[in-house]
Amino acid sequence: MEAYLNKGIKAIIDQFPEVGNILDEYGIGCAPCNVGTCLLKDIVEIHNLPADKEQEMMSMISGVIYPGREIAFPKIKREKATVSKEISYSPPMKRLVDEHVLIKRWVALIPEVLKDLDIESKDGIQLILDGVDFIRSYADRYHHGKEEEILFKYFDEDLEILKVIHEDHEQARAHVRAIIEALDRKDKDAISENLRKYGEILNEHIKKEDEILYPWMDRNLTVSQVGELFSKFNEADDSIGYSPERYLTFIEGLEERY
């Protein structure tokens, strides 16, 4: 079992699809992940299941990998799990979660924007440009910037979970570049496809951060580091050069329209 604990989860699920279903039962949604390089042992540690649930889940996984055999697996070092399902965030992490709310409001609007997609009129083109500006300025520079340039520096960036998050960011950026290129070509289908894929990535990405990454980070940050993060986030927001409030106005306008 040691070999599988140190194997990427995507490879395990490809070999044993039932493992993906087992993880889903315990609220660990690895199957739809775009990367899937996290090691099985890291997934168990990061999700911080109660000891009895961890034992139960790993027994089920062992039964799939080694049917009919009693397999012992090493104890995985992890923080003490909490019984409550309610997630409590530190102040800097709560700020990131709150920023996700506005991004999710934009993602929820994407299907309506696509139904009304118009690249022939000035107003239609401006709507796409404004949407791209929201993604690049608010979702990426303002929000992802605090993650990549500040928060992630407190951890080993070679950790698979952070590689997954970085890959999500890069895929999202690639779709935004493709939208701009498609707009220049007047390729409505390509604009629609890339904006749809952007929304799909962000939906899963935000869920991973809110429910998995941020709680794990909070468990591993000291009180002093939390205070440092809060101060650095304030400094980053003060130096951004524009007011994030303009993007709230943009989203509210779209919500009224649709």
Stated pTM of the model: 0.74
Highest mean pLDDT among 156-160, 161-165, 223-227: 223-227
Output the 3-class SS for the chain: CHHHHCCEHHHHHHHCHHHHHHHHHCCCCCCCCCCCCCEHHHHHHHHCCCHHHHHHHHHHHHHHHCCCCCCCCCCCCCCCCCCCCCCCCCHHHHHHHHHHHHHHHHHHHHHHHHHCCCCCCHHHHHHHHHHHHHHHHHHHHHHHHHHHHCHHHHCCCCCHHHHHHHHHHHHHHHHHHHHHHHHHHCCHHHHHHHHHHHHHHHHHHHHHHHHHHHHHHHHHCCHHHHHHHHHHHHHHHHCCCCCCHHHHHHHHHHHHHC
- The pLDDT tens digits of the residues spanning 106-153 come to 999 999 999 999 999 999 999 999 999 999 999 999 999 999 999 999
Average pLDDT on 18-46 reads 69
| Domains of the chain with bracketed CATH | 2-65 (1.10.3910), 91-257 (1.20.120.520)
- pLDDT score, position 180: 97
Average pLDDT on 85-94 reads 89
